[in-house]
Structure 1
């Protein structure tokens, strides 16, 4: 039995001993093809699970010059800037952009992929949803011949390009900074570990703690989405544990969670950074307006968006796949400057 993956019109033509052009015309219900040949082609195509290469069709007909982009959230500056970067590049190349949001939901992401892959776009740029652990919908997309560029969050899918920030390095440098500020009991608020950005940040945090001889126990680690609601819950739970020693530093995997936690700590009379030094991730524009201003990791998402678009345009033109990693930068502000008060 022929391999059902990546079946082409040439495979069907060889099996039926007819030309590839005849197969193509039959699949497109051309009037010049006899009903017998058309029926045989459609029957075998179904048996072999043949899927048309939507990108090739679009490029050949010239009817589609649209690229799809899937982001987990639309209300985060990181993704807004990434979208802006993508738009800058693809519009110059004469392409349009369709933007869809998964809401970090697996089922919604699958529906978006299914919709976009039906001849609507010639390529997809995507950051995987937080819920997603099964990447088969992305694999099917690639196998159908539609280029995929992953940004921010990387998946183990062959024949794709990716553009990410070095989350390991970002978390390492942030943890190192807290240690250099005199923190010894540093807690880590991490995101779900099925997502590469959060698993890499966990790795960077743990390595820095190990390199400086500091202990990491289960009490040090908290796993949740990096939303304001979850950040608030975390801070309330921590501050209520009066009989236990509070952390003297916390690394948050997202600024929204860090912001909410800081507000709770201030309400509870816990001084920042004197009692708890805090560093976030992403460097939201409003970090400078917090009291105190929040230290955070800048990830340069506009640049990541522009590079993602460039790799997509190259993939459409048949150039090799690439994996690009950018180094983030720690932006130090008042929330982590504990040494000033020691």
Structure 2
């Protein structure tokens, strides 16, 4: 069943500039943008945003993983096709040639259609920000979140990659998913990241199983990202929690580089396969899973542990600098004493 919706942008005479704007704004609900923003919030957020920014940031990362798991599970369950032409996009003539590929990637969609993953992710993440942050007042936060969610949902229809029903149901599912995380991961005003990560891992396991039963290999790997990431975040938080030490600019750049390598490898294995083994290991979904699962585990574990790692490195540097200074002072004292002894010998002579 593919014709399950009401209307898409591809059936309407929309101007090119509007479609181009939609291609840009839809990135607000794209996975890379959401997870990058949540990671930076966890590392750089301060008490102007929340009473305990690290605890809130970690919980929201888990919410993002949960959104991925819910999306994968439901898409695998229904397996509805996308609207005709969803996988094709013609860049406007006025767009520079160097941006044509980026436009095509942003303006197209692949995989299953129902419900919209962008709508689910945007609703759970931006709704989570409105729920867990303390900046502004709650009503203002909810209004801003609603506008962003509405914009993301509208762009999916304008781009012609989703039917209206896809995004409507996606928003509804996102509201339900966020409510589930609130019930499980929050006691009063205090969020519990370990509970949120455990819930995300459980949802990821269910999504992976549903995709496997349906024979959807790509969705199996996507579900395993939520499973592995949830387990990685849960384990690190349970063992170490996190440091309150700030993460500096250089630390952030280095951390983003590490995360890019880890998740880039996971994405490469999931989408391109295992070419680096050159036939030693069969390039099948189970073997890809053996790579994607630990990579996603490590990726989220590093994100959660990064403030602790940065703090430990600083402590080590401080001790080394203190030891170096102490050694330098000791050398100066020894040298001064040696000079004093030589002077006394000259006087005696």
Classify the TM-score, shorter chain.
Answer: under 0.3
Q: Which structure has more strand as a fraction of its residues? A: 1
Identify the structure with bigger relative contact order (alpha carbons < 8 Å, sequence gap 6+).
2
| TM-score, scaled to structure 2 | 0.27
| TM-score, scaled to structure 1 | 0.28
